[in-house]
A and B are shown apart, each in its own frame.
Chain A
Amino acid sequence: MVKTATQINWGRADVYAVLSDFANYPKWFPGCEGLVIHSATENTTIVDITLSGMKRTVMNLKYECEPDVLIKFELVKPGDVNAYVGSYRLMNADSGSGVVLVQEVNLDAGAPQFIVDRMMKKSLEACGAALIKMAKERPASAPAGGGASAAPVAAKKKRARCLLRVVKTDSGEEQIWYGGKTFVSK
Chain B
Amino acid sequence: MLGRLSVRRKAVLTLGCEPAVIYDILADYGSYVEWMPKVMSSTVIGRETNFAVAELEFAAKPAYKFTLECMHAPPQMVISRSMSGHPLTLKLEWKITSPSPGASKVELMVEGPAKFLAMVGGYATVMNPGATLKALKQQVSTQAPTLPAGEVLIDISEGEDGLVCTYLGKKYKMEAMG
Q: Contact residues of A with B, CB < 8 Å?
A: 1-5, 7, 91-94, 99-100, 102, 104, 117, 120-121, 153, 155-170, 174-175, 177, 179-180, 182
B137 touches A180 (CB 8 A): yes
Task: Using CB atoms, name the residue of chain B closest to A114.
Answer: B4
Q: When each residue 141-157 of chain B gets 1 if its CB lies under 8 Å from chain A and 0 otherwise, what string results?
A: 11110011111111111
Known A156-B27, A160-B157, A161-B143: A100·B148 in contact at CB below 8 Å: no
Q: When each residue 5-45 of chain B gets 1 if its CB lies under 8 Å from chain A and 0 otherwise, what string results?
A: 00000000000000001001101101100100000000111
Q: With the chains together, A165 CA to B152 CA distance in Å?
A: 7
Minimum Cβ distance to chain A for residue B100 (Å): 22
B159 touches A94 (CB 8 A): no
B147 touches A162 (CB 8 A): yes
Minimum Cβ distance to chain A for residue B3 (Å): 12
A4 touches B83 (CB 8 A): yes
Contact of A166 among B21, B46, B142, B152 (CB under 8 A): B152
B154 touches A164 (CB 8 A): yes
Q: For residue A99, which residues in chain B have a CB less than 8 angstroms away from its CB?
A: 46
Q: For residue B175, which residues in chain A have a CB less than 8 angstroms away from its CB?
A: none
B142 touches A7 (CB 8 A): no
Known A104-B84, A175-B148, A179-B138: A162·B45 in contact at CB below 8 Å: no
B155 touches A165 (CB 8 A): yes
A177 touches B148 (CB 8 A): yes
Q: With the chains together, A155 CA to B52 CA distance in Å?
A: 11
Q: For residue B69, which residues in chain A have a CB less than 8 angstroms away from its CB?
A: 3, 5, 102
Contact of A155 among B47, B85, B137 (CB under 8 A): B47
Task: Using CB atoms, name the residue of chain A closest to B155.
Answer: A165
